[in-house]
Amino acid sequence: MAKWVYTFGDGQAEGRADMKNLLGGKGANLAEMASLGLPVPAGFTITTELCTYFYDNGRTYPAELEAQVDAALAHVEQVMDAKFGDPDNPLLVSVRSGARASMPGMMDTVLNLGLNDTTVEGLIKRSEDARFGYDSYRRFVQMYGNVVLGIEGSHFDQLLEEMKDDRGVDLDTELKAEDWKELVGAFKALVERETGQPFPETPKQQMWGAIGAVFGSWMNKRAITYRKLHDIPASWGTAVNVQAMVFGNMGDDCATGVAFTRDPATGENAFYGEYLVNAQGEDVVAGIRTPQNISLAGKARNQSPLPAMEEVMPELYRQLDGIRERLERHYTDMQDMEFTIQQNKLWMLQTRTGKRTSAASLKIAVDMAREGLIDQTTAISRIDPAQLDQLLHPMLDPKADKQVLTKGLPASPGAASGQIVFTADEAEDWAKRGLKVILARVETSPEDIGGMHVAEGILTSRGGMTSHAAVVARGMGTPCVAGAGGIRIDASAKTLSVGGTVLKEGDTLTLDGATGEVIAGEVPTIQPELTGDFGTLMEWVDKIRRLKVRTNAETPEDARTAIKFGAQGIGLCRTEHMFFDPKRITHMRQMILADSEANRRAALEHLLPYQRQDFVELFTIMRGLPVTVRLLDPPLHEFLPHGDAEVAEVAQAAGTTPDEVRRAAAQLSELNPMLGHRGCRLGITYPEIYEMQAQAIFEAAIEVSKTDGETVVPEIMIPLVGTQAEFDMMKAVIDQVAQKVFAASGTTLTYQVGTMIELPRAALVADAIAKNAEFFSFGTNDLTQTTLGMSRDDSGPFLEVYRDKGIYEKDPFASIDVDGVGALVELAAEKGRKTRPDIKLGICGEHGGDPASVHFCESVNLDYVSCSPYRVPIARLAAAQAVLHSKGSGTA
């Protein structure tokens, strides 16, 4: 019989930390903490396999589940010495989701479950607090009614407001026990009106309702969106954790908090956390009350006026600090812990690997390796290459003048400027129109995910470092200033007031997520320093990785940036980008409109000096590193003008009529330009174009070799080859030009001629192509388009649906489609090497900077990846992780 339920509590547990896939992160770690003897309220976890069963079987449970849950519940009752439905000593439980990967706030939770008109009296008896008892009861009815029974929360709020009006009070805290009791009655009546059923009275009935709601919430819209953004497969499912309640809100000897074993923003090795006295756990993360620091150091750092836990509850702080050390040593990683203090007793409610900023991630990994807690390879495995991105982007120029309006919490680092918008929907609308926005909210909620994702930065006026806004922004790598209390946000008026200043929708604002500063207008930024921990990590990385990392660059600026980031050459220099310069485009168009080879050659003569100078600059910057130059690739019509004025201008320059230009453009236009007259097809039909480019490359290489004394070895790449004959013909053209240039200059140099493998046919006949091709560079952008028969430009409308339905888990244009495109890459690599064992193999599509794709490249033993300059460090790290992964070491 399948085991669907795992218990924990009282110093033992059926689960373990390494059973995350089965028990979810929360359940596995609760079990682990219980086994470690930490004070964990007893409970049980229903497995993720049950979730899969649930969805595979029309949202039903297996027959044997009920008996297993009953047995687990009995275990909890025994450990906690309380009973479900016991009028004197009732067991109350929480029912929470817990997936393999953390999805904060995305799924449903029910607290205080087990309360009814009988058991509330037992709770009152034991807490000696009728107001607390009825407040808990009404919270439960409201939460259950909303989450399980689907009644809108505002209906309950309205009843509460009416009650306060009726009593003539402003604050919840002014309501008395009898008021809460009356409200329970009103809430239950609301439930019966809305659902046609009385509110479920028996705790078991309540529990099964909550379990169903939590499993059901795996498929709610928020959760689906979150999974899509974080590449979490729907097939993983969630577990459900049913755990005895402990209360942080039974009085002033109670508290609740969230703590990190190290600072999640900076990575500093200091105990960092926030707590609230007399509060439920949700209050800390919901941002309703501004929480207090747990340590004195943290209080000082945040300049908080509120007392630290270290002062208020020194013994409990000491206990917690001990647990902190034990957990970090046990897990060998920074932990994010939730705790509750009920009547001076500390209970641990959760531990998990703590989310952290990119900077913190880097610092923690490097520090822990230095401390000997982990080794260098583990440190490398710990860094998410995508997160590293953050560290590589511009920061505010410290020397720039800036008008700081106010300061909030430095919740997620990085600098961002943009126009203010006040709702997530507006953020999405504006971003679609190409505008950069700062999303300003009092606080964010899971509904805001979409808008947060497109915003350059996020600003909230309420909430702490662990508020929803802060946690989500850090995960996204989006700069965030949270809890900026000096700001008043009026979303309906679309204004943001700070001091005397009032900013409106569309005004520009800058956030510095590293300092918490909120700044008027736009502030200049500078490049980050790539030294310190970053430099150390990169040193470790470079010792391990096998793949070389090149860059895709055609401008001197890109080439310089890439060199700074450690690029080992240029893997793709797209020559067509060089022709769009206004000085050149005219000649390019003359060339295209030429009616004879002689006229084409005349126009190309004009382009030659420009093209040669491009290569002189690139070769000079790259100082002897390899440079792969791709010959002209796009269809010629891409260079022709569209507007009337421009057409007239071109006509004049080309000595023809606008009608003639339009006629030529119409004749060149294509139904499917992606599959049209481009790539080496241009070289085959107009060899003179490639001749000019080859001449420019060779002349530039010779010039730079002479001037700089560096050996320039140009690699000339022929695009869109599908047959050996195409390659051979184009190589012959290039070789001929080389001989001419060498003869004219009285010098020679070494060069290579290779091809881009970007058509399925090229992969299939790679053995033949390799006879004369000295390198292959996999053009996975086009190879994806042709292999999948999917135009990148046109796939938006259905690819969205495809990802929703799980047909492609990831965007195949961002991360290589291993089963399809990958299979062709592997085949071509094998066939190429069979013909020419030392053939140089690389990848130069967008995928070159995608960590998963880099792993794939390692697995098929390519020689290098090439990516955009800013992605070079990411690729370096991913390349090292791929080596570790293939060796089975590391934890990534």
The distance of closest approach from Cβ of residue 785 to a second copy in the complex, given in angstroms and rounded to an integer, is 6
Of the candidates 51, 75, 254, 468, the residue annotated as catalytic is: 468
- Closest by alpha carbon to 280, among 262, 255, 252, 298? 255
What totals of helices (H) and strands (E) does the chain contain, helices first?
Answer: 35, 32
Task: Give how far Cα 217 sits from Cα of 371, 444, 636, Å.
Answer: 42, 20, 52
Q: Are 60 and 136 in contact (CB under 8 A)?
A: no
Does residue number 204 form part of the binding site for a second copy (CB under 8 A)? no
**Measured in whole angstroms, how far is the alpha carbon of residue 672 from the centre of its chain?**
34
Q: Does 149 bind a second copy (CB under 8 A)?
A: no
Closest to a second copy by CB, 580 or 798: 798
**Can residue 761 be called a binding residue for a second copy (CB under 8 A)?**
yes
Q: What is the largest CA-CA distance in the chain?
A: 103
Return the residues of window 723-752 that contact a second copy according to CB under 8 A: 723, 725-726, 729
Query: Taking contact as CB under 8 A, which single stretch among the options 516-524, 700-708, 737-745, 762-770 is the one that binds a second copy?
Result: 762-770
Among 384, 782, 811, 846, binds a second copy (CB under 8 A): 782
Nearer to a second copy, 479 or 812 (CB): 812
Which residues on neighbouring strands pair with residue 94, listed in sequence order?
Answer: 243
Instruction: Match 């060199």 to its residue by tokens.
Output: 563
Q: Does 288 bind a second copy (CB under 8 A)?
A: no
When the beta carbons of 235 and 711 are compared against a second copy, the nearer one is 235
Instruction: Record the tokens describing residue 494, joined without a space.
Output: 């679309």
Tokens 């109350």, residue located: 92
State in angstroms the smallest separation of the CB of 661 from a second copy: 18
Select which of 480, 680, 844, 867 is catalytic.
844
Residue 62 in contact with a second copy, rule: CB under 8 A: no
Select from 57-65, 116-124, 511-519, 678-686 the region that touches a second copy (CB under 8 A).
Answer: 678-686
User: Binding to a second copy by residue 838, rule CB under 8 A?
Assistant: no
Assigned token pair, 444: 């964010």
Residue 252 as a binder of a second copy (CB under 8 A): the answer is no
- In the sheet with 93-99, reading across from the earlier edge strand, the strands are 12-13, 5-9, 43-46, 238-244, 93-99, 109-113
Among 821, 829, 865, 892, binds a second copy (CB under 8 A): 821
Helices (H), 246-313: 281-286, 296-301, 309-312
Among positions 790, 852, 859, 885, the unique one binding a second copy when judged by CB under 8 A: 790
Q: Please state the closest distance from residue 801 (CB atom) to a second copy, in A.
A: 5
Residues 6 or more apart in contact with residue 139 via CB below 8 angstroms: 111, 112
Q: Is 684 in the site for a second copy (CB under 8 A)?
A: yes
Q: Hunting for tokens 């003569």 — which residue is that? A: 605
Any alpha helices (H) in 81-172, and if so which ranges?
A: 119-127, 130-147, 153-167
Identify the residue among 172, 663, 794, 891 touching a second copy (CB under 8 A): 794
Residue from 787, 815, 866, 881 touching a second copy (CB under 8 A): that is 787
In this complex, which beta carbon is closest to a second copy, that of residue 605 or of residue 670? 670
Minimum gap (Å) between residue 790 Cβ and a second copy: 6
Binders in 368-397 for a second copy, by CB under 8 A: none
Q: What are phi and psi of 176, to 5 degrees?
A: -100, 175
Residue 549: partners with Cβ closer than 8 Å, 6 or more residues away: 566, 567, 568, 864, 865, 866, 867, 872, 875, 876, 879
List 196, 500, 789, 837, residue binding a second copy (CB under 8 A): 789
Could you say which of 805, 837, 838, 888 contacts a second copy (CB under 8 A)?
805
d(CA 828, CA 631): 21
User: Any catalytic annotation for residue 230?
Assistant: no
Of 672 and 750, nearer to a second copy (C-beta) is: 672
Q: Compare residues 371 and 793 and give the one whose CB is closer to a second copy.
A: 793
695-724: contacts with a second copy (CB under 8 A) = 720, 722-723
**Does 596 interact with a second copy (rule: CB under 8 A)?**
no
Binding residues, as ranges, are: 574, 630, 758, 779-782
Counting contacts by CB under 8 A, is residue 675 touching a second copy?
yes
Q: Residue positions in the annotated binding site for Mg(2+)?
A: 758, 782
Decide whether 56 or 838 has the Cβ nearer to a second copy. 56
Nearest to 264 by CA among 449, 26, 474: 474
- The contact pattern for a second copy, residues 339-368, with x = CB under 8 A and - = no contact, is ------------------------------
Known binding-site residue numbers for substrate: 574, 630, 758, 779-782
Q: What is the torsion angle, in degrees rounded to the nearest 10, for the CA atoms of residue 812, residue 813, residue 816 and residue 818?
A: 30
Please give the DSSP secondary-structure letter assigned to residue 821: I
Span interacting with a second copy, options 578-586, 593-601, 652-660, 795-803, rule CB under 8 A: 795-803
| Residue from 205, 685, 711, 891 binding a second copy (CB under 8 A) | 685
**Helix or strand or coil: residue 448?**
helix
Choose which of 791, 859, 886, 889 interacts with a second copy (CB under 8 A). 791
What is the size of the binding site for a second copy (CB under 8 A)? 49
Helix (H) or strand (E) holding 510: strand 508-512
**Segment contacting a second copy by CB under 8 A, of 123-131, 232-240, 341-349, 779-787:** 779-787
Distance of alpha carbon 308 from its chain centroid, rounded?
A: 33
Phi/psi for 125 (5° steps) reads -60, -45
Which one among 820, 830, 859, 885 touches a second copy, defined by CB under 8 A?
A: 820
The correct pick among 85, 676, 710, 833 for binding a second copy (CB under 8 A) is: 676
Minimum distance of a second copy from residue 611's CB (angstroms): 23
CB 324 within 8 A of CB 337: yes
Which of 808, 814, 852, 859 lies at the binding interface for a second copy (CB under 8 A)?
Answer: 808
Is position 587 annotated as part of the catalytic site?
no
Q: Give min distance, CB of 453 to a second copy, in A.
A: 23
Using rule CB under 8 A, residue 677 touches a second copy:
yes
- Compute CA distances 378 → 368, 382, 675, whole Å: 10, 6, 45
Considering only residues 615-674, where is the footprint of a second copy by CB under 8 A? 670-674
Phi, psi of 630 (to 5 degrees): -90, 130
Should residue 802 be labelled a site residue for a second copy when binding is judged by CB under 8 A? Answer: yes
How far, in Å, are 8, 23, 81 from residue 16 at the CA level?
10, 9, 24
Based on the shown chain and the rule CB under 8 A, indicate whether residue 765 belongs to the binding site for a second copy. yes
CB of 681 to a second copy, least distance (A): 5
How many residues in total does the chain contain? 892
3-state secondary structure of 87: coil
Residue by residue, DSSP assigns 865-890 as EEE-GGGHHHHHHHHHHHHHHHHT-S
453: buried, middle or exposed (CB in 10 Å: 19+, 13-18, 0-12)?
Answer: middle
User: Which residues are catalytically annotated?
Assistant: 468, 844
Contact set with a second copy (CB under 8 A): 670-677, 681, 684-685, 720, 722-723, 725-726, 729, 758-761, 764-765, 768, 782, 785-791, 793-795, 797-798, 801-802, 805-808, 817, 819-821, 823-824
